[in-house]
Amino acid sequence: MQVEFKGLVPYVATYEAMQAFVATVHPANTENLNEIGRLPSQNLREVLWICEHPPVFTQGLAGKAEHVVAAGDIPVVQTNRGGQVTYHGPGQVVAYPMIDLKARGYFVKEYVYRIEESVIRTLAHFGITGHRVRGAPGIYVRIEEPASHARLLGADGLPLTDQELGTRADIGKISALGIKVSRHRTYHGVALNVAMDLSPFDRIDPCGYRGLRTVDMASIGVQASWVEVAQVLAQQLVTRLA
């Protein structure tokens, strides 16, 4: 899997390029790879794009209009990924793995787990403990104690589930995940908040959870550049998705 750092790129153009890449680059069409001159990575069957986007809200297939509270001047783009509404903006590392799950020998559930593990290992590199929450894909952190390894527990003392997310002021989402799989090939991916303007998240119910707090690495006390985080996340994804 080759890694390509794209920098700041428009969301819609990137989305369309992902769709075109996955539709054309699969085992049945490998003989046509050299004919795709307009696509980046035309000679590759698997690729990882690392980028950031100008401000945009994106809706997943399950997205409900009421979760976009006040889009204002930020465009809303309907997509075919899983999940609900999220926000992309400068200062956020976005990773799009386009791989063949059948060739790699694992299924979607494990693919999601491996992506989440890549984010957890990336955060650990910078001294942050990332947590999973049952029923809510993505990675979460303790806002006041981001290095704490203590498990996230609900009011009943059991592991926290998505049902309580919007009620917890001590927990923030730092990474959102939404994927699409077509003929065993993946696209869309994962976003990790590094140092960004978080105010647009107040205009939506992040990932469909009203009241869910969204944080970035800077807001919980970690000073790291976009490039540093992007490089670590890219290496983790290459390793974990192998």
Phi, psi (5° rounding) for residue 187?
-155, -175
Residue 52 pairs in a beta bridge with 8
Question: Taking CA 208 as the corner, what is the angle to CA 132 and CA 87, rounded to the nearest 5 degrees?
Answer: 85
CA 177 to chain centre: 4
The H or E element that residue 211 is part of is none
CA 151 to chain centre: 22
Active site residue 51: no
* Contacting residues for 158 by C-beta, under 8 A, at least 6 apart: none
Catalytic residue among 141, 207, 234, 241: 207
How many CB atoms are located within 10 Å of the residue 155 CB? 9
Distances (CA, A) of 114 to 13, 70, 111, 156, 174: 27, 34, 5, 29, 17
Dig out the tokens for 225 from the structure: 């550049």
Using CB atoms within 10 A of its CB, is residue 55 exposed (0-12), middle (13-18) or buried (19+)?
A: middle
17 three-state secondary structure: helix
Cα separation, 180 vs 55, in Å, equals: 22
Residues noted as catalytic:
207
